[in-house]
Structure 1
Amino acid sequence: MPLKKAPQTLSYRVTATTYWPEVGQTDDNPMETADGSIIPTRHSSKTRWLAVSRDLLSKWGGPFHYGDKVRVRGISDDLDGVYVIHDTMNRRHRHCVDVLVSERECKKKSGFEGRWTNIKITKYAEPTPWQAS
């Protein structure tokens, strides 16, 4: 029986920033994302939604789709983790991600607002549950 190859993991180095839904940081309908999802009213960094630059989306030739889960590493203990891609950044950005946070978090905690380079994002696949054979 031939051995199956392990799936290739898609990993990229990007620049990460944070945003919250307000007209100055988004379009004129800040609570609706590019994939049509509505940001929950009481969202926070725990919501784990991500906007990515167009070059990372399949619609523009990139490797990711709306709804894909990606693991983000290298920002901070509070912001690293698994996110779902729901939104697209302005066309001027390339190789970037934008982490959804709340404005109140940024005002309460330092480290929630900023720009980080050399952040690793990896396409995330749910672990297969162990089964006895």
Structure 2
Amino acid sequence: MSIALFLLTFLFPPHTVSSSALALPSTVATLSPRPVAIALPVLPLKKAPKTVSYRVTATTYWPEVGQTDDNPMETADGSIIPRRHSSKTRWLAVSRDLLSKWGGPFKYGEKVRVSGMSDDLDGVYIIHDTMNRRHHHCVDVLVNERECKSGMEGRWSGIQLKKLGPEPVWQAG
């Protein structure tokens, strides 16, 4: 291989080009750049998205084997229901079609506002659990058995479920 390279170099020596041959003509060298107008489309400003609300059917439940799986105190996201829970705990189970895992808008741990049930049950809830697959567009509010039997048990249709946006962070200016 080295003999072939030697013969090629010997038979066809490399040519050198003078620097004057590489120089630009004088007319090109004296040109200066000029500003060029560019038309860019003006896009409208995007407004902050409105918080979307959903109309769902709501029911109440308490953790017992008849209403849940064989481990009633553990929710679908792995949280353990407090022993002394009540409607003030503000935990919510949602149907699968509402969870992002199955294409819905909500995730475990998100805060949602529920309104339209009653003064005692309306408010902000945290999504911790999933309802049985037979339910669609439904939510279940966690209460204790005593509350259900004293009048909080029920089924409400047309309940508004609204995702809460992130809380604003205060910064000193």
Q: TM-score, normalised to structure 1's length?
A: 0.91
| Partner SS state of residue 117, structure 1 | strand
Cα shift at 1:130: 6.5
Runs of 5+ consecutive residues of structure 1 not aligned to the other structure: none
Q: RCO higher in 1 or 2 (8 Å CA, sep ≥ 6)?
A: 1
Secondary structure at the aligned position of 1:104 is classed as helix
In structure 2, the residue matched to 1:54 is 96
Query: Aligned pair 1:82/2:121, yes or no?
Result: no
| Counterpart for residue 147 of structure 2 | 105
Q: How does 1:1-133 map to 2 (within 5 A)?
A: 5-108=47-150, 110=151, 112-128=152-168
Query: SS at 1:24's partner residue?
Result: coil
AA in 1 matched with 2:135: H
Q: Which has a greater percent of helix?
A: 2
Deviations 1:52-85 (A, max 9, x none): 0000000000000000100000000000000000
Distance 1:4 1:131 in 2: 24
More strand by share: 1
Deviation, structure 1 residue 104: 1.1
For the pair shown, the structure with the greater C-alpha radius of gyration is 2
What percent identity do the matched residue pairs reach? Answer: 81
Please list every run of 5 or more consecutive structure 2 residues that lacks an aligned counterpart in the other structure. Answer: 1-43
Counterpart AA for 1:90? N
TM-score, normalising length: structure 2 = 0.70
Aligned residues: 130
What amino acid does structure 1 have at the position aligned with 2:154?
A: G
